[in-house]
A and B are shown apart, each in its own frame.
Chain A
């Protein structure tokens, strides 16, 4: 079992210690790396104090750049799989072995920890966006992804290599659509439950949400057809 847990962290001083300690406690022998994305608070200091495995970026690169750093680390150290894991305590580490098992059984390239396989999505503006992206992905790739915006995704070695070698892949739904459509990758979902975030604010303000949706839609409907 060689899976790297990548934990991008930007200003997560309130939750980073409990998140990593819970991860280590609940998944014996887990290998992880915290990617501190140029935080302004004491995230990096706390990680050093607790001797966490840390990559400390000197400037803020954004989630995409921070996650790519983790993927490069996974590639350079020959990991078989890598999973994206939130630093804010929303993800439950108990599901990591479950996603790994699912990947082995299904031979999939990507396993998404999905909140909505069995149960219906709650009705909210956020879920309207999620539904729209699901519909677009289904229309363009023929694959049903119930929870495209889930941040808990397990990638296999071939995806790790792609992420570390090209700079236009993001940890977002559009990349899922691209990898299915243009690279013929297999993506499956596994039911998970997520917690409400314990600290901090969601970074998705209304204006950012609009830009996020415009981006997701235009890249699935347009860019997808020209990327290779």
Chain B
């Protein structure tokens, strides 16, 4: 694993942290939202500081090089994230639909009474 890749990983982790901190400052993120990004940047730093971890894991999976293992890991993580986001969007859509219907029904009810 090249020094350049390791530096990129650490810089990337720092940038992620900076974005998360600015969101927390603006009270836009609940603490739960920031947990994933915290763990992600922590993981990137660990992989950059201890290349032997990715050497070991790429050997285990038969991946050609440790950097390929890191790409694979990040892609897998993104897919999991994508799935959970899709799930959350579906949930939000359902809730908004319910809310809109509820408001419309209440308005109709009120206009009938008034």
Contact = CB atoms under 8 A, between A and B. Distances in A.
Interface of A: 58-60, 64, 166-168, 170, 174, 214-215, 218-219, 222-223, 226-228
A220 B7 CA distance: 29
Nearest to A216: B31
Nearest to A56: B102
B88 to A, nearest CB: 12
A223 B31 contact: yes
A27 B21 CA distance: 45
A59 B32 contact: no
Interface string B69-84: 0000000000000000
Contact of A174 (B21, B31, B38, B94): B31
Interface in B11-57: 21, 24-25, 27-32, 34-35, 38
29 contacts: A58-B98, A58-B99, A58-B102, A59-B95, A59-B99, A60-B95, A64-B30, A166-B27, A167-B27, A167-B30, A168-B27, A168-B28, A168-B31, A170-B31, A174-B31, A214-B35, A215-B31, A215-B35, A218-B31, A219-B31, A219-B34, A222-B34, A223-B24, A223-B31, A226-B21, A226-B25, A227-B24, A227-B25, A228-B25
Contact of A218 (B25, B27, B38, B95): B38
B71 to A, nearest CB: 26
Nearest to A175: B31
B24 A226 contact: yes
Count chain A CB atoms within 10 A of each CB in B21, B25, B30 and give the residue with the most.
B30
Interface string B83-94: 000000000001
Contacts of A168: 27-31
The 10 nearest A-B residue pairs measured at CB? A219-B31, A58-B102, A59-B95, A226-B24, A168-B27, A223-B31, A226-B21, A59-B98, A223-B24, A226-B25
Given A167-B27, A168-B28, A170-B31, 12 more contacts: A58-B98, A58-B102, A59-B98, A59-B99, A64-B30, A166-B27, A215-B31, A218-B34, A218-B35, A222-B34, A223-B31, A227-B24
Nearest to B21: A226
A61 B21 CA distance: 25
A214 B32 CA distance: 9
B62 to A, nearest CB: 31
B43 to A, nearest CB: 14
Interface-centre pick from A64, A219, A222, A223 (highest chain B CB count, 10 A)? A223
A60 B95 CA distance: 8
Nearest to B29: A168
Contact of B27 (A174, A214, A228): A228
Contacts of B102: 58
